Amino acid sequence: MGKTAAVILAWIYKRFLNDPHTPRRLVYCLPMRVLVEQTVQNAQLWINNLKQKGLFPDDRPLPVYTLMGGKIDSDWDFFPEQESILVGTQDQLLSAH
């Protein structure tokens, strides 16, 4: 298992347990678009796999938002109380909304 998987899956586990010390949002700041795209795809795959195997409830949303030039998920900031993963490039993460 790589570093990205270890961090994302550990964060999901801690959120699943409702650990009060684990923030609701996980933010990945990456230097290149290709890394953002890869991380978003992997995070969505891991979440889907956990849900398919019954290890994470289907009724608990866990969106993965992309924030990079040319593609910014516009609703990432609508629900600050919602658990989510933000993955983006530094310029977009710092300038988004």
Q: What is the pLDDT of residues 9-38, one digit of tens each?
A: 999 999 988 899 999 999 999 999 999 999
E strand or H helix that includes residue 94:
helix 90-95
Report the amino acid identity of residue 57.
Answer: P
Exposure letters 16-33 (e unless 16+ CB within 10 A, then b): beeeeebeeebebebeeb
**pLDDT of amino acid 35:** 94
Query: What residues does each domain of the chain span?
Result: 3-95
pTM confidence score: 0.88
